[in-house]
Amino acid sequence: MKVPSPFKTWLVALVVLHGIVACAGFFAPYDPVEQDRKSPYLPPVRLHLVDASGHLHLRPFVYTLNLQAGSFEQYEEDTTQLHPIQFFLSGAQYRLLGFLPCRLHFFGADNTRIYLLGTDAFGRDQLSRLLFGGQVSLLAGLLGAGITLLLGASIGALAGYYGGWRDTVLMRLAEIFLALPWLYLLFALRAFLPLAVSPLGAFFLIIAVIGAVGWARPARLVRGVVLSAKERDFVRAARGFGASPAYLLRRHILPETYSVLLTQAAILIPQYVLAEMTLSFLGLGVPEPVPSWGNLLSSLQQYSVLVSYWWMYLPALVMVPFFLGYLGLASALQERGEAYKIAGRSLGSLM
């Protein structure tokens, strides 16, 4: 009997989730910035199996929603014509994974538009915006975490390996960064950077800001590992044979820090996605019309939207499966690290 390790299970789940977002163009029925001015704040469409005259259909279908006469926001279903859901049909052009021009969409319908999660004030499809917004938010989280880990690992390795005044200065600096509540730090860094920038500029700006904020914790962890690793016998032996510091760090010392860095990545990525969401939610991040998970929610700052259009809240919940995946991954990694440590210790006591 072979039970898949929890680590692998979580990893596969995360890869699937990220894959869906990466192929947003395929799974999203429409272009995320395409407006349908005739149907603002359209509620999520209902999928039907039974039509108005009581017949059962095997293929789910939808009715077109039309504005009620004399109303601006009340919609009613036009039950005279049903539109069955079609799979793998061609629609708006997009670039799969960012470069492959493609027209194929996972689902859609002929002669009508399906808004599974409703539409926003401009009649843009919330599901498409959610999927494309995930690309922005998740990429920001991943790249931000990458920057942080790179910074943290190099600073930690530098401080741990060379020690002395470098160590003192860097670790004091790390203490200052740790002394600040991180969201305040994020705000402060963002405050000192220009406000009005293009969406792409803003995207890279917040990645840089988010990435620069969190280096202190991984740096301290890496420093600790490096401190103990550089006194290990095989490292001393290599040094005795005349290995250069760069070689020692690359070949012998940094590999010891990989498990720490991996665990940190699993903790940092969701935190950074959330940071991007927070910044964009407050209007300091990626600007409209480019969707991100944060600015999808920013319309909720108005009470009227919060009260009248409940489906606008749905994007807030999209983070949950991703958080769950990363939480599971982090705890699986931690357990594995602990098991490894315990095994190592008992091995050491035997010898």
- What is the binding site for another protein (CB under 8 A)? 172, 175-176, 179-185, 187-195, 274, 277-278, 281-284, 297, 300-301, 303, 306-307, 310, 313, 316-317, 319-320, 323-324, 327
Least distance (Å) from another protein to the CB of residue 79?
A: 29
Q: Which amino acid, one-letter code, is at 167?
A: D
Least distance (Å) from another protein to the CB of residue 154?
A: 20
Q: Please tell me what DSSP assigns to residue 125.
A: B
- Closest to another protein by CB, 25 or 120: 120
Q: DSSP secondary structure string, 227-282?
A: HHHTTSHHHHHHHHTT--HHHIIIIIIHHHHHHHHHHHHHHHHHHHHHHHHHHHHT
- Closest to another protein by CB, 7 or 187: 187
- Closest to another protein by CB, 63 or 309: 309
- Single out the residue of 33, 49, 216 nearest to residue 131, CA to CA: 33
- Closest to another protein by CB, 75 or 182: 182
What element of type H or E holds 302?
A: none
Least distance (Å) from another protein to the CB of residue 185?
A: 7
Least distance (Å) from another protein to the CB of residue 300?
A: 6
Least distance (Å) from another protein to the CB of residue 297?
A: 7
Least distance (Å) from another protein to the CB of residue 324?
A: 5
d(CA 173, CA 212): 13
Least distance (Å) from another protein to the CB of residue 68?
A: 23
Integer CA distances (angstroms), 143 to 149, 203, 237, 282, in order: 10, 11, 37, 21
- Closest to another protein by CB, 106 or 177: 177
- Single out the residue of 276, 259, 179, 166 nearest to residue 218, CA to CA: 259
- Closest to another protein by CB, 75 or 187: 187
- Closest to another protein by CB, 192 or 241: 192
Half-sphere exposure of 165 (CA within 13 A, CB side): 0
Residues with Cβ within 8 Å of residue 6, at least 6 apart in sequence:
328, 332, 335
- Closest to another protein by CB, 96 or 208: 208
What element of type H or E holds 96?
A: strand 75-96
**Cβ-count burial 30-47 (b if 16+ within 10 Å, e if not):** bbbeebeeebbbbbbbee
Q: Kindly report the length of the chain.
A: 351
Least distance (Å) from another protein to the CB of residue 121?
A: 17
Task: Strand 56-67: give its sheet, edge to edge.
Answer: 48-50, 56-67, 75-96, 100-109
d(CA 124, CA 31): 8
Q: Which amino acid, one-letter code, is at 282?
A: L
